[in-house]
Amino acid sequence: MDFKEKYNKWINLNIIDESIKAELLAIKNEKEIEDRFYKDLEFGTGGLRGIIGAGSNRLNIYTVGKATEGLARYLVNQYKDNISVTIAYDSRNMSPEFSECAALVLCAHNIKVNLFQSLRPTPELSFAVRELKSSAGIVLTASHNPKEYNGYKVYGNDGCQITDEAANAIISEINKVDYTDIRKITREEAINRGLLNIIGENIDRKYIDILKSYVIRKFLVEKHAKDLKIVYTPIHGTGLMPIKRILTELGYENLHIVKEQEIPDGNFPTAPYPNPEDPKVFELALKLAEEVNSDIIFGTDPDADRIGAVVRDSKGEYQILNGNQIGVLLTHYILDSYKSEGKLPCNGAIIKTIVTTEMVRGICKDYNVELFDVLTGFKYIGETIGDFEKTNSNEFVFGFEESYGCLFGNHARDKDAVVTAEMICEMTLYYKSIGLSLYEGLINLCEKYGYYKENLISIELKGKEGQEKINNCLDYLRKSQISEINESKVERIFDYKLSEERNIIKNETSILTLPKSNVLKYLLSDGSWFVIRPSGTEPKMKIYVAVIGKDLEESELKLKEFEKTVMSKINGILK
C-alpha cells in the first residue's frame, strides 16, 4: 500500500476522529502527506518515537493504540494470566492522553495496569516495574527531542528497556494489528473491574529512600552538605520533584532552582531543544549561578534520565562538562571512595558503550575492576547487569554512556539522573573538602590517564530520502575501506552488522559477540577512533570521533583535525 492509499484509508476509516481527518484534509503539500504515510511509525528495539500528529508515521492515539494492542497480545502469549503493566509519563505534550490510551487498551485484555497519578521520571518507572513485580512497563517520553516529538518506551519485567529478542516478538504482534482491531475499554470500566490502579506517593517514598541509602561518604554529607551551593534546572521536565526532594532530605540546604525552567511544560519555552548536551539550556542557570556563587550547576532532560553539569575551573570560570567527563569523574570517585571505605568488590564491573570514552580503561585497571563494552543504548547496559545477576560473575558498580546517561545502584535498569545528581553533589562536596573544584579534579585525572577528547557530529537527514542516504553511506563504507586518517593507519574495523572484527595489520577476521547493529567503528594506530551509525530515535546519522593527546591543547588540535578529515570523507559519500 503506497502513501496515498494509506492517506485515503485514514480519511475514510470510521474509527478515526473527525478532528484528525480535518488535520489531514487541510494538508495541501503532497511531500508532507508522503512523510506522514510513506511508512508506519517504526517500533524499534525500545519502542516508538516520532512527531506528534495525524498519520501512520506520526505519534497519535491510533499508533499508540496499535503498538499497545500488539504488546498486549505478546504479554498474553508470554504470561497467560496475572499480567500487570506499570505506566509513567513525562511533561511532553499528549503524554497524559497517550498513557491513558495505552492503559485502557491493556485493560481491555484483562491486564492490570499501575498508572502513575502524574508525571514521573523514566528511572522511577524502571524502579516501579521491579518493585511492583510487573510483567512490563511503558513510559511516554521523547527524552531530549524537540517539543514536536513524543515517544513510547517498553520495559521488560526486569525494569530494563526491551532488547532485541523481546522487541522482535512484540513487533511481530504489532504487524498483525489493523487499526480496526484495537480493543479498548473506558476508564470507568477499568476502575470498576479492578484493572486500573493509580499509584504515586508510596512508590515515590521507596524510590527516594533507596537512592538516599547509596551515599558513600556518609559523614561528609551529613556534616557538610549544607555548605555546597547548587543551581539546578529541570528544563521544564519531571526532575524537579524527585531531585529537590532527595537533595533536601540529604541536607543540601543551598539548592537554587532556575525559576524560569521550573514548571513542567511540553512546549519548552526557554529551551526549544531540551537537551543537557546543548550548552544553551544552561544560559539561565549560569546567570543564577553567578548571583549565588554556586559550586555546581546541573540540568536534567524532560524525563530526568540524562544529566549535564557545569563546574568552576581554577580561575573561577564556569566550564561545561560533557557526558564522557561526567562519567570519568564519577567512575573514579565511586571506585576511589569504595576503596577508601573498604567496600570495593573483588569482582566489580564498570559498563560503558562502544562510543564512550576510553579514558576509564586506565582507571578500571588501577582499581582492578573489569570494564565491559556494549552497543550504543542504555538498554544494553541494563541487560548486562541482568546477566551479571544470572551468572553471579560480576558485581555491577557503575554504568554510563557518552550521551549523558549514568546509573549507580541496583534499583533500576535504566539511566537515572536523580541518583546521578545525588552522586555529583557528593563528589563535588568531596573535592571541595580537599580544596579542589570538580574541574581541577578532572584535570588531575587527565594528567594521570591522558587527555582524551571526543565529539559527536549529527547530520540531519529527514524523510524517506534521508533514511536511504544513511543506509547507502554505511553500505558504501562496508564495500570500500578507509585505510588512513591524518597519517595514522586504521588497525581494526568493527562491523557490528556483520558481527566481524577485521584486524587490518594481521589480515585476520574474528567474530563479534555483541548483538547485530548497523554500526561501524574504526580504531587507528595512535589510539584515535571514530564510529558511524544511524540514530535510533531521530532522522540523523551520528559520527563519533575521539583522540588522545599529551595535554589539553594538543588533544583539542588533534580532535579538530581528525574530525575535519573524517567528515570530509563522510560528506563526500553523502553527496
Q: Which residues are catalytic?
A: 143
How far apart CA 373 and CA 384 sit, in angstroms, is 10
What sign for the dihedral angle of Cα 162, 164, 169, 174? positive
Q: Among all chains, which residue has been given the C-alpha cell 568531596?
A: 430
How far apart CA 389 and CA 2 sit, in angstroms, is 47
Residues 205 and 241: beta-carbon distance below 8 Å: no
CB atoms within 10 A of CB 482: 16
As given in the structure block, the three cell numbers for residue 469 are 542516504
Give whole-number Cα distances, 448 to 75, 194, 443, 456, 483, in Å.
51, 59, 9, 25, 31
Q: Which residues of 79-102 are buried (b: 16+ CB within 10 A; e: fewer)?
A: eeeebbbbbbbbbbbbbbebbbbb
Label each residue of 90-151 as H, E or C. CCCCCHHHHHHHHHHHHHHCCCEEEEECCCCCHHHHHHHHHHCCCCEEEEECCCCCCCCEEE
Alpha carbons within 13 A on the beta-carbon side of 397: 28
Residues 143 and 176: beta-carbon distance below 8 Å: no
How far apart CA 138 and CA 122 sit, in angstroms, is 9
3-state secondary structure of 246: helix
Using alpha carbons, select from 188, 86, 198 the residue that is nearest to residue 133: 86
Q: Where are any strands of DSSP class E within 212-321?
A: 230-233, 255-257, 296-300, 307-312, 318-321
Residues 232 and 417: beta-carbon distance below 8 Å: no
